[in-house]
């Protein structure tokens, strides 16, 4: 059974609450119990204490209720017999509800992550393609060229064979934003990538009307001690 099938199976399962529990508590009360447990878990922020937190919240939930068929839990022996009668199935129910929610959240997280990865791959492929086209233009371009023209500064940077790696794709103020890291190897300490990025961004707008490229980092992999100013 695959992970996805396993997740779906778990989500389809329902915990069978004993009849006396279902008769005693409304779904509204049980939902409130779940919310209280989740709030307490977030407050602790420690996975090791989740079980303790669940038991504590269930105990408080039981203590806050008065049962018509029990004289305030009677003597101590009757109290604990009745108490445990309710505690065990309620703890099981709470754990099941929370586990199912965590599994669903995990499934949603991985689905969204996969969508982000696929989107980044598409943008990476588009950028790689445009960079190769720019290199070809630079190779055959001259000052009097009547074909596509790219600034000589951008061509100088392309001579370094830069690697532009897409790290994230999102939207900022309704405009698509591509975050990239640029790597190249050059003896000189400083090379201006801004003109190159402007040219690349301009070319991407053939495919995407509103898009901006933001450079997160520029890395020169040439050994620092051997560089020249």
Contact 158, 196 (CB under 8 A): yes
| CB contact at 8 A, 126 and 200 | no
Give the whole-angstrom CA distance, residue 62 versus residue 84. Answer: 10
Q: From CA 20, how far away is CA 131, in angstroms rounded?
A: 70
Tens-of-pLDDT digits for all 229 residues of the chain?
A: 565 555 455 444 444 667 777 777 788 888 888 888 888 877 765 556 778 888 888 888 887 765 544 444 455 566 667 677 778 888 888 888 887 777 677 777 788 888 888 989 999 999 999 999 999 888 887 655 556 678 888 998 999 999 999 999 988 888 889 999 999 888 876 777 899 999 999 999 888 888 899 999 988 887 877 777 6
Task: Give the whole-angstrom CA distance, residue 155 versus residue 131.
Answer: 10
Task: Determine how many CB atoms are found less than 10 A away from the CB of residue 87.
Answer: 16
How large is the C-alpha radius of gyration of the chain? Answer: 31
**What pLDDT was estimated at residue 213?**
93
Contact 104/112 with Cβ under 8 angstroms? no
Burial class (CB in 10 A: 0-12, 13-18, 19+), 68: exposed
- pTM, 2 dp: 0.56
């Amino acid at each position: 059974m695959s992970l996805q099938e396993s997740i779906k199976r778990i989500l389809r399962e329902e915990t069978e609450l004993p009849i006396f529990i279902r008769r005693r508590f409304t779904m509204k009360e049980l939902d409130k119990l779940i919310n209280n447990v989740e709030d307490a878990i977030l407050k602790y922020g420690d996975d090791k204490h989740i079980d303790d937190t669940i038991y504590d919240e269930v105990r408080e939930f039981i203590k806050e209720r008065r049962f018509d068929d029990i004289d305030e839990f009677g003597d101590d022996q009757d109290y604990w017999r009745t108490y445990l009668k309710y505690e065990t199935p309620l703890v099981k129910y709470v754990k099941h509800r929370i586990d199912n929610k965590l599994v669903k959240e995990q499934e949603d997280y991985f689905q969204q992550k996969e969508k982000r990865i696929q989107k980044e791959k598409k943008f990476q492929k588009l950028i790689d393609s445009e960079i190769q086209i720019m290199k070809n233009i630079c190779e055959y371009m001259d000052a009097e060229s009547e074909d596509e023209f790219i600034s000589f500064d951008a061509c100088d940077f392309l001579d370094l064979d830069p690697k532009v790696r897409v790290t994230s794709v999102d939207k900022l103020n309704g405009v698509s934003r591509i975050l990239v890291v640029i790597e190249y190897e050059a003896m000189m300490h400083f090379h201006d990538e801004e003109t190159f990025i402007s040219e690349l961004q301009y070319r991407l707008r053939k495919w995407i009307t509103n898009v901006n490229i933001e450079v997160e980092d520029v890395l020169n992999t040439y050994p620092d001690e051997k560089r020249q100013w």
